[in-house]
Amino acid sequence: MRQIIAMGGGGFSMEPENLSLDRYILEQTQKPNPRVCFVPTASGDADSYILNFYKSFSTLPCRPNYLSIFKPPSADIEGFVLEQDVIYVGGGNTRSLMALWREFGLDQFLFKAYQAGTVLAGISAGANCWFEDCSTDSLPGEFQPLTCLGYLKGSFCPHYDSDPERRPSYHQLIGEGALKGGLAADDGAAVHFIDEELVQVVSSRTTAKAYRVKRNGDQVQEETLESHYLGNVYP
């Protein structure tokens, strides 16, 4: 079973007192003590980000570790990746993440892990990366389209409710044909795919939603998707 869970925002880095999305990700492994690997490439392996990951995940039923592209844990990066039950990609600069992954072949290693059943997850840049393309502010100025890994069809836009420029720019890029239609997610919302099919939207906040955005003729249409609030499961 191939699984990807893409978060618009939230998780340990934005909601350290509410780890319901992180618990949900771990639960999808169906293992009592899964190996979860944090990949902080998009942040330049920020020490504070890695520290916060360990601080949060040490309280959860899992075995946390992390993968640094700048200081790999082993010459056999592929073998290290394939040992993991969850790959959890952090936020930051999506363009830098994609460039470094392709240079080191991590994009290919992650695809092998995905095919083998490793749960792929991530927030913001770590959610963008799994789709065909995304809307990103990796460079100063207006939001730009960026080609990503393409494990999932369509485009993605995170932080849909918290950044006032996200919704209008995403609509504009889709309307112009610069981006494929796709999904957008608020902070605290995540889209869960199984075998490349969207099976559920989950949220750590009662107001967090995900949306399907597509071009229909000269118009861009936005549909709010039904969301399952995890607070009812993880109080």
Catalytic residue among 13, 20, 138, 159: 159
Instruction: Locate 7 and state its tokens.
Output: 């978060």
E-strand spans in 111-175?
119-123, 131-136, 144-147, 152-157
Burial 14-23 (b: 16+ CB within 10 A, else e): bbeebbbbbb
Single-letter residue type at 148: C
CB hemisphere CA count around 122 (13 angstroms): 28
* Residue reference for tokens 């749960």: 119
Catalytic residue among 56, 124, 138, 227: 124
Answer yes or no: 124 catalytic: yes
Question: What residues are labeled active site?
Answer: 124, 159
